[in-house]
């Protein structure tokens, strides 16, 4: 189970004069600090898939990076299966599979070598890592390019390899930041099928997306963030009810009416 409570994170603005007019009008800009996340709370139970929605710049990626331990929040709490992420970040990382917005693969290594390296970092034996690579190659359709250098990969190849790398250690929770962005139809379906399989195994999954059809297909729960605040937190039935069943209109309603959210 993942629990996030009253999360907040601000960043210092080094040169306010370089901000765009839109950025200057953002209510999160306060003095020399931009409060990317102001008050975000939600939870994800075992076996749930949670779709994290919000406009560009809403604070979704910052929230996920704090959950993954890549960033330290200014305030709030984060727990994963009872482990306090803030006080025990190393233990928490062992339980997390995190895919960031950029794949960050080592281009001169093959896909297999990239995954093997992360298996080693997580303390897996060579035999266990090899077993996991074969399992993930089957699930994510990696076999045709696994032994080629990543610098020659397409966007879809990179993304699927990065997902395999993120979950090679069989994490207890999985966090995916826009996992299907830039993918073609076939690669997207492979990723969605993989998320569905994680759900069947009881693994809680949080993934951010701009594609409401993915929410419709996979999610048990929806959280909407806008301007650093939780605007909606509920199951998909309650989300649909915001606008007579239309997911697009429900999203618009959630960011326009903050009193109708939680």
Question: Which sequence spans correspond to the domains of the chain?
Answer: 2-104+172-260
Residue-wise burial string across 108-136, b where 16 or more C-beta atoms lie within 10 A, e elsewhere = eebbbebbbebbeebebeeeebeebbeeb
pLDDT tens, 173-220?
Answer: 999 999 998 899 999 999 999 999 999 999 999 999 999 999 999 999
Pairing relation of β-strands 221-226 and 49-53?
A: parallel
Percent of the chain residues past pLDDT 90, beyond the cut: 87
| Average predicted confidence (pLDDT) for the chain | 93
pLDDT tens, 17-32?
Answer: 788 888 888 999 998 8
Q: What is the pLDDT of residue 260?
A: 46
Strands (DSSP E) found in the chain: 2-12, 29-30, 33-44, 49-53, 75-80, 83-84, 96-99, 173-177, 205-208, 221-226, 229-235
Question: Yes or no: is domain 2-104+172-260 CATH 3.10.310.30?
Answer: no
pTM: 0.91
What three-state secondary structure class fits 83? Answer: strand
Distance in angstroms (rounded) separating the CA atoms of residues 37 and 210: 19
Q: What is the pLDDT of residue 44?
A: 96
Percent of the chain residues past pLDDT 70, beyond the cut: 97
Q: Which two tokens stand for residue 180?
A: 């299907």
Q: What is the pLDDT of residue 245?
A: 77
pLDDT tens, 119-128?
Answer: 999 999 999 9
What does the longest C-alpha to C-alpha distance in the chain come to?
Answer: 55
């Amino acid at each position: 189970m993942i629990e996030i409570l009253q999360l907040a994170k601000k960043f210092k603005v080094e040169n306010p004069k370089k901000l765009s007019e839109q950025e200057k009008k953002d209510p999160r800009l306060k003095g020399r600090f931009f409060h990317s996340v102001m008050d975000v709370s939600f939870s994800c139970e075992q076996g749930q898939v949670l779709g994290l929605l919000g406009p560009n710049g809403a604070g979704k990626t910052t929230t996920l990076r704090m959950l993954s331990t890549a960033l330290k929040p200014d305030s709030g709490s984060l727990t994963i299966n009872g482990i306090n992420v803030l006080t025990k970040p190393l233990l928490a990382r062992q339980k997390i599979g995190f895919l960031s917005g950029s794949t960050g693969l080592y281009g001169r290594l093959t896909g297999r070598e990239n995954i093997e390296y992360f298996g080693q970092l997580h303390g897996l034996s060579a035999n266990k890592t090899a077993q996991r690579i074969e399992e993930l190659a089957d699930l994510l359709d990696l076999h045709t390019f696994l032994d080629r250098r990543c610098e020659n990969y397409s966007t879809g190849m990179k993304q699927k390899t990065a997902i395999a790398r993120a979950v090679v250690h069989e994490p207890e929770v999985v966090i995916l930041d826009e996992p299907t962005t830039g993918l073609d139809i076939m690669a997207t379906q492979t990723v969605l099928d993989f998320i569905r399989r994680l759900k069947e195994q009881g693994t809680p999954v949080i993934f951010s997306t701009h594609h409401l059809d993915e929410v419709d297909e996979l999610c048990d729960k929806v959280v909407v963030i806008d301007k650093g605040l939780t605007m909606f937190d509920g199951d998909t039935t309650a989300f649909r009810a915001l606008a007579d069943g239309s997911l697009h209109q429900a999203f618009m309603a959630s960011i326009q009416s903050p009193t109708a959210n939680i």
